[in-house]
Structure 1
């Protein structure tokens, strides 16, 4: 869910421009009905899908995008490369402060809430990942990453291709929380909402205090033999007596956009409504200035919020966590050398995080290229980000990797187990 706060001071102009469905019956009704529904401000168009298919499948994938180009070398610190500290004399995370060190890499100390998951083998990092060639424009890079089909003139995202290759065709298989990710754009049915508690049947609002809209829909479809009737009746009945869903205590999630979004995602997944792919955004990672040190700065704040929200999310999921995999990525990384403003300018290579089901965790993956201490030096990409995503698709879904990533031959990363 995109941050609603003002852009960070010093962020580039390019970046600056840029519900609960508290009862599972409502979502199931949406998923099986071939009709248009209003969910918050979104209109969902769907085609019929058998009710038995709702909730089918073995796993769900949550894709969390760190908007603004997060500095992967601050989140997962290559302290074993001597150039790292030399190139960042003020903002480098010292080797003595990192967590889960393997002698070369370590986690930023503000990622401490994720340490129990790391130690349990449920979190892994893949470093020096990214696009095959540098693209330093935020929105051009976002679109390239999310289309994942270089050279194509079609505006179809890789997640839309993934959803379209899954069994069934209900819109609840693909969900965007907040602004719809371009990775979801395309012909396959999907839906989006900004707040789970805003899910409504169109017309059932303050202007209808006696619930005439719901009674009308129930009367219209109550005795119909149309194949959509049962689904619509179920949805109307569920909306009529919506009740707050029980979730993790509010204090367990940080009071941030990301905390709110992941709370909604957890409620959706626990509702078992057939959601297979969900996207969430966290903004404000464009740290040209005031990335800071371990004593102050925006990296500390963002890393802490990210870790707390993810830790609360997996606690909230409970037993459902055994079928949920989270992928964390950003459009590109930052330069090796710090600038004069305690920040970093646009770079290339980055880190990806994998959490949850099927992850061979507690380890760092990828081929480290070595760093150079020159003004315009980048972290060179040695693993195409699609290879990481392809491994998730192959091991956690039934979709074809060749369909999701046309013309791409992935390399073996080794960070995921089979279903």
Structure 2
């Protein structure tokens, strides 16, 4: 399947933002981000198994939450979207207010197992319709701070320096803003990218490693420290590279970027090398044209890829899913009213999904009434940090003050069980 290219120049520029950060290249397919400003983290690392794993799936380009989780009970939804609305009789998991887009059918085993929470009307406290600025704001999650540190970097650093493979970004070569900061993280296009460049057989790699260690044994400084760290990461990640490439439990991933990234994610979790935080991207959801109806269109194509990949991921994990929680995030939502191109322009409120371990399934959030005007937004009633905060404090024993500085949760949605 060919995914739609982003429509906005603003969105296209976001893919280059991470090149402003420091990184050490491994092979050519992975980067170990060990630099923050001009300071290189210098410490000894030891990978230890992770008791719980957080997977953050970014729906890049601003997904339309009103199509994914449809407020069918509000008649304005159908009035505002005469050519792109999802008919009520096609919705899945329908209750008195909401229903899921039919393309989310692969997620129904999780839904019926009470392992999916859909939290509607979430987002930034103040609307920001620039892809670049909104992504930065969402991923820094520290409004007004001059520090360029992402919330996931603060999360992985809550217990002090650890192994760089405690936090891994899969499926892309540029660090997301959420991962950037003083704590080292691993960014790789795939499992095989975390290796030394050259022949892949064990003897050749061992010889290259020995040669590099010898060549740098008398050196000091930032680059030498980076080389030592990179070699340690390659060695620690070896069980993932050696793991089976065949999904477990009969899982079948779609042949798309998200499917490949989540397959790599499952292999990483199964190898138990200490990865506590794993991020993957899926985009673009920037649908200014041809959103379509349930059986065709840009949104259906993206939702098919999303649901098929996530459903396969949890099936692949099998019993390991009991320690994995996945949360979705998007920079903003779309307008309530369709535009002249049967698409949707940049909006404000959106839906977030939380799936897997610790989740108490169902629909959550205070849903405001929709308004049928050309510039109408879905209003935000839940700060997106409140959703993330409930996940990280209840699943990973994190501190709100450290991960989300200055944020005071106004409500407890109670969609995650306490440890």
With the shorter chain as reference, the TM-score category is 0.7 to 0.9
Q: Is the 8 A contact 2:289 2:341 kept in 1?
A: yes
Q: What displacement does 1:151 show?
A: 0.5
Q: What displacement does 1:320 show?
A: 1.3
Which residue of the partner structure matches residue 180 of structure 1? 175
Aligned residues: 390
Give the superposed CA RMSD.
Answer: 3.1
- Greater mean deviation of Cα atoms: 235-244 or 169-178: 235-244
- 2:26 aligns with one of 17, 23, 38: 38
Q: What displacement does 1:329 show?
A: 1.4
Q: Is the 8 A contact 1:159 1:183 kept in 2?
A: yes
- Separation in structure 1 between the aligned mates of residue 2 and residue 43 of structure 2, nearest angstrom: 35
Residues 228-264 of structure 1: per-residue CA shift (max 9 Å, x gap): 99x9799669969964624317970000000001111
Q: Secondary structure at the match of 2:320?
A: helix
Mapped pair 1:370 → 2:365:
no
- Greater mean deviation of Cα atoms: 159-168 or 265-274: 159-168
Q: Is the 8 A contact 1:247 1:316 kept in 2?
A: no
Which residue of the partner structure matches residue 290 of structure 1? 290
Q: Is the 8 A contact 1:129 1:383 kept in 2?
A: yes
Distance 1:162 1:244, change over 3 A: closer
Which residue of the partner structure matches residue 137 of structure 2? 144
Q: Secondary structure at the match of 2:73?
A: coil
Structure 1's unaligned 5+ residue stretches are 19-35, 222-227
Q: What displacement does 1:295 show?
A: 2.8
Residues 28-85 of structure 1: per-residue CA shift (max 9 Å, x gap): xxxxxxxx7825433434654564x6114x3111110111100000000000111101
- Separation in structure 2 between the aligned mates of residue 238 and residue 297 of structure 1, nearest angstrom: 40
TM-score by length of 1: 0.85
- 1:94 aligns with one of 87, 104, 119: 87
Q: What displacement does 1:398 show?
A: 2.5
Q: Secondary structure at the match of 2:259?
A: helix
Residues 274-301 of structure 1: per-residue CA shift (max 9 Å, x gap): 1111111101100000111123201111
- 2:9 aligns with one of 6, 13, 29: 13
Residues 200-254 of structure 1: per-residue CA shift (max 9 Å, x gap): 1256569x96964245468899xxxxxx99x979966996996462431797000
Distance 1:48 1:270, change over 3 A: farther
Residues 374-415 of structure 1: per-residue CA shift (max 9 Å, x gap): 111100000000000000011111321110000110121111
Q: Is the 8 A contact 1:204 1:214 kept in 2?
A: no
Residues 144-198 of structure 1: per-residue CA shift (max 9 Å, x gap): 0000011001100111110110365111111111132100111011111012112
Q: Is the 8 A contact 1:324 1:357 kept in 2?
A: yes
Residues 92-139 of structure 1: per-residue CA shift (max 9 Å, x gap): 111111000112100000000001100001111000000001000011
Q: Is the 8 A contact 1:47 1:169 kept in 2?
A: no
Which residue of the partner structure matches residue 396 of structure 2? 397
Q: Is the 8 A contact 2:13 2:132 kept in 1?
A: no
Q: Secondary structure at the match of 1:62?
A: strand
Which residue of the partner structure matches residue 104 of structure 2? 111
Q: Is the 8 A contact 1:166 1:398 kept in 2?
A: no
Q: Is the 8 A contact 2:239 2:271 kept in 1?
A: no
- Separation in structure 2 between the aligned mates of residue 133 and residue 263 of structure 1, nearest angstrom: 36
Q: Is the 8 A contact 2:191 2:241 kept in 1?
A: no
Q: Secondary structure at the match of 1:252?
A: coil
Q: What displacement does 1:319 show?
A: 1.7
Q: Is the 8 A contact 1:218 1:233 kept in 2?
A: no
- 1:69 aligns with one of 39, 62, 65: 62
Q: How does 1:2-401 map to 2 (within 5 A)?
A: 7-8=5-6, 11-18=7-14, 38=26, 40-44=28-32, 45=34, 47-49=42-44, 51=46, 54-56=48-50, 58-166=51-159, 168-177=161-170, 178=172, 179-202=174-197, 212-216=207-211, 243=242, 245-248=244-247, 252-361=252-361, 363-401=362-400
Structure 2's unaligned 5+ residue stretches are 15-23, 35-40, 217-226
Q: What displacement does 1:14 show?
A: 1.4
- Separation in structure 1 between the aligned mates of residue 191 and residue 133 of structure 2, nearest angstrom: 30
Distance 1:237 1:163, change over 3 A: closer
